[in-house]
Structure 1
Amino acid sequence: MKNIRTLGIVLGMTTLLPQSIMAKAYDYPAHKNVAENNYGNTGFAVGPEAKRIQSKSDLVVGSTIMAHDRYQRIYNKVGDNYNYVTMIARLDRIKVLDLNGGDENPYIKVKIESSVDRRLVGKTYYTRIIGLSEYEDYKTFDADVYMVQNIATEKLRVYQRVCKDYSCPPKMIFETDFVSGYKKGDDAHKYNTHVGSYRIFEWEKFYQDRGTGGHYPSWYDPTYPLPPDRDDSWSKWFDSEYMPWEFCETVDGEKECSHKGMMRGAFGWYTALVEPHYGTGQWTHGTIGWAESSIENIYRAKGEDFLGKLANMVTSLRSSGCSRVSNPSVAFLRHILPVGTPLIKIYALESYQDQASMERNYNIGQTSAWNFILTKDGVRETGEEATTAHKNYVEVRGLDTPDNILEEGSYEFNIYPTVVQYQYKHRSSGNGYRRSRGCVEDTVDNYMKPWMTDDEDRKYYDIDREDKISSRQCNVYKIPADKFQGRFYPDTGLIEGYAHPQAEGVIRGGFRSENWPDFIEAKRY
């Protein structure tokens, strides 16, 4: 930000600006419209499936494999006994040291080569072969589509890589709001959503935490009480009558059980299980409520309606680190985003790459609709068994029987990119401009560019001079204005001059060896 600020306020110096930060026009060649047949066949490539270890004959001593299941137990061997030590996480690398007999003995001897828990690295343990696989982290997978979550503005967008030869930028095909993680009183920021580069490893339908006995039972399970009715208040999703069990915890050495703090269906209809997350979640999932009410509950969690404002005065309705979207949104994402899809979480100021190109290549105000049928099957299943809610898929497979349908509808969403910016205009000026102060979602880019000067027709807003953005919106964790670096372009899904802010509350997560995939850097196009 500081170097951009200098360029932005020194007038008449545009000839000194590097071409890489000048507005770059763009167009798209003819390409497949993924909305055809109501998104019935997007053609998006699916990441390669990691080969699961089924037998010791699948293993070679000295080879490196990984924990594929989310929770893989490791053991110490004492005599003939295997004593549980702890768990390793998915993507933890382990080297096979000894097959430890034949398949009649399920344990093998391994050395931890890399782990979320760095205390384990270099140590030797035993583990069962079930839950292991060949190593696959999808970092080299050439994805056709990717998702960007801008935590600062709480906007989630999906982009299609139309030109993989970098002759044109990616194109936005979906945009929605999400709720980032935050808890009142969390001075250590343990519950914030983390910036970083991730991959979707699997989708799970009606996910719940901790199997049974956790805080958040599945939105639907045939053995549980039915969820609240569509017309019920949002507070019903917290009532004990809808909970299948009591939540128990140990307080001062004594076990206490109650329904307090539980929320029915907190993960909504689907959950994208992403890696690596280092035990902090960082998943993308739905929320409480049915289709329409879940959209309202997203805004309520942010405190954007009266009830939300009241609730957020005394508690936090946000997540504990995951990215939360409405249930129709997550159902659509589950349908179009295959395993291996890159997910990039950033904390950035937004500008269009080029206003004129955006207006030429997108139809402002255009929406698309996706028809869905949510069914009862696939509870806590993953992969294909986590049945998509795509209407045609459900009908073709005969799953649309009256006793199997939970909800049916049509979900409408933007397929043109808005830009979310902090603005302060003293007067209205020009078509599409408005008097405003605060965070505004618009289709007009109001930030000053380094090569621009004010003119009589338009007063650009110089965000680089705003020292109070930390007390405004468009900045959910209230970081100082001068900690922002570079820009994110919602129209092309690219970053320019961007770096994750070095600021309190902005926590780095995802792959330690990758800030983001190369294809989201504007300089490559």
Structure 2
Amino acid sequence: MSISRSAKICSSLLSVLIATTPVASTAQLATNTSSVAATATKGVDKSQLIVGQRYFISTDSLNVRSSNSTAAGNVVGKLALNDEVEILNLLNEATPLVQIRILKSSTVRNDAALELFVSKDYLSTKEVVLPGSKYFVIQNVATEKTRVYERCTTSPDCAHRLVMESDMVVGRPEEGSEKDPHAFKTWLGHARISEWVKFYQDGLGHYPHWYKAGQDIKTIPAPITDSVTKTLGGRKWITEVEKGSGSTIYGAFGWYAGKLTPGDEINGMNYQWMHGTMGWGKDGPAAIELTRGFFVNLVSNPGSSGCTRLENRAIAYLRHLLPPGTDIYRVYAKESTREQEITTGVFKKKTSPLPRYADTYERPLHWQYMLLTDGAQQSGGLTADLNTILAKGIRYSTNNYIEQGVYEVDQYPNAVALKTTRRAAGGKSGDRYNIDEENFSGYFLVDEGRFINYAHPNPALTKGVIKVSGMADFRNSVPAFLNTYGVHYPPKVEKNEQQPN
């Protein structure tokens, strides 16, 4: 995320930052399920709760404690939305806690402690239903690619369809904390988007907003591509830390930030969000490419500290396309395709594209965006989709207008080959964390959004490089709708000459 080595975020620090930042409750997010959201018993008297009854967790992340105390040292896990518990003891009215037994949880074992306690304020008699999404996201940390798929529901074993492919930056592997050399790597697993925040700034002020409500737009740094080189343009975005000393990156969270749940560092995604970056829309992928340059990495490490970061037009499109509740799967996989491209000719080569995607080959979708100041620092802040803004009759002028343009959405799947001939930091090796080919298991079919014999790389065999957490259904297994089998066509692995075939 940052060009400054001294500024650390999106891993251990982010747990503190989130605690200082107001976020929408799950009930607020479920705009189409107000009747369900209303059943949440937040703030209810204990007299309305029943010992022996089953309840659902009605928040994204709820502390589970080993004793009847709200002290920080007794947290043994965090329950996720719609986990199920049974009340064993209401205790006394002086404490907000109740004693429970875990019936079903995607994040916490039922034997995490001899006795378990949670706050009474986030128990519901009914499941909380988030607005459904027809899309899901697969982020391949190995290849630094984010892909969005439209879920196929016509049959149990049908292939999904790619609707967006984009580069991303993952947590940097070149350095860590004093306690953990892998502290800033991106964790693998299954999470969901719980909310979108527009122009987010962390609670400790390490990374200033891209834009703050009431700010003079002219004070935002100039576009990166307005300079002679991207490196010079990127330097314009280096600024002083608001609280403390040293330098940091202005607008490091970009236009939009998607919060993921479960987010905690015990059973969640280590508070590693999905968000934009510095730079303007007109800069395109310049801010992403900047992190991969050889010379800039000699001076400082501009990589992320665990979050997955996309260019601002891409994250704005995701904010428009993906509602809260959308599934995010982070994997570390070799890539392949079910169908095969055919290249013919010698001097004038011609490629026959993948049959299912012939209509999108070299024909990107043109998405029109307009970024306004409206909704700054708000959960669910105004989208940048131009058609939505016009349809709602939202007024824009020199006072709230920031930028307008067209984003060409790549909707054609391109499998990335494993290339040990390339620098891992260059984003083209297919093995960003250098775990070596023998630690890969199975393939990810980028044209179907499904896996063949895939398993996350073993954390022990990779010596802690790989960390797996999140929802239980994607830790040691693959959900059925993401599984497939049969013939496929992986790109040829490129190896160094000194390596055996």
**One-letter amino acid of the counterpart of residue 476, structure 1:** R
Aligned length: 410
Aligned ranges 1:125-524 → 2 under 5 Å: 127=119, 129=121, 143-166=133-156, 168-186=158-176, 188-209=181-202, 211=203, 213-223=204-214, 226-230=219-223, 231=226, 233-240=233-240, 245-246=242-243, 257-258=244-245, 260-279=246-265, 280-293=270-283, 295-303=285-293, 309-355=294-340, 359-363=354-358, 364-382=361-379, 385-402=380-397, 403-422=399-418, 438=422, 473-502=429-458, 503-504=462-463, 505-515=465-475, 516-523=478-485
Deviation readout 1:160-185 (Å, 9 max, x if unpaired): 12344136311111100000101533
Task: Give the AA of the match of 2:480.
Answer: D
Cα deviation 1:339-373 (Å, max 9, x = unaligned): 22221111111111121696222122121111111
Question: In the aligned structure 2, how far is the partner of 1:236 from the partner of 1:90?
Answer: 42
Are the aligned partners of 1:472 and 1:478 in contact in 2 as well (CA < 8 Å)?
Answer: no
Letter in 1 for 2:254: G
- Output the TM-score relative to the length of structure 2: 0.70
Counterpart amino acid of residue 205 in structure 1: K
CA contact (8 A) 1:375 1:400 kept: no
For 1:336 and 1:369, how far apart are their aligned partners in 2? Answer: 14
What runs of 5+ residues in structure 2 fail to find an aligned partner? 1-29, 228-232, 342-351, 488-501
Aligned Cα root-mean-square deviation (Å): 3.9
Cα offset, 1:302, TM superposition: 2.4
Distance in 2, matches of 1:193 and 1:85, equals 26
CA drift of 1:205 comes to: 1.5
Deviation at 1:314, TM superposition (A): 4.0
Structure (1 or 2) with the larger CA radius of gyration = 1
**C-alpha distance in 2 between matches for 1:167 and 1:112:** 37
Question: Is the contact made by 2:418 and 2:431 (CA closer than 8 Å) also made in structure 1?
Answer: no
**Paired residues of 1:98 and 1:108 also in contact (CA < 8 A):** no
Letter of the aligned partner of 2:235 in structure 1?
Answer: S
Q: Distance in 1 between matches of 2:327 and 2:364?
A: 24
Give the superposition deviation at 1:143. Answer: 4.9
TM-aligned CA deviation for residue 97 of structure 1: 5.4
Q: Does 1:68 align with 2:53?
A: no
CA contact (8 A) 1:75 1:84 kept: no
The SS at the match of 1:329 is helix
Question: TM-score scaled by structure 1?
Answer: 0.67
Letter in 2 for 1:295: P
Report the 3-state secondary structure (helix = DSSP H, G, I; strand = E; otherwise coil) of the residue aligned with 2:394: coil
Deviations 1:130-182 (A, max 9, x none): x66568698x9975221111111111111112344136311111100000101
Matches within 5 A, 1:33-44: none
Fraction of identical pairs, as percent: 30
- AA at the equivalent of 1:302: R
Cα distance in 2 between the residues matched to 1:188 and 1:134: 44
Residue 375 of structure 1 contacts residue 399 of structure 1 at CA under 8 Å; is this kept in 2? Answer: no
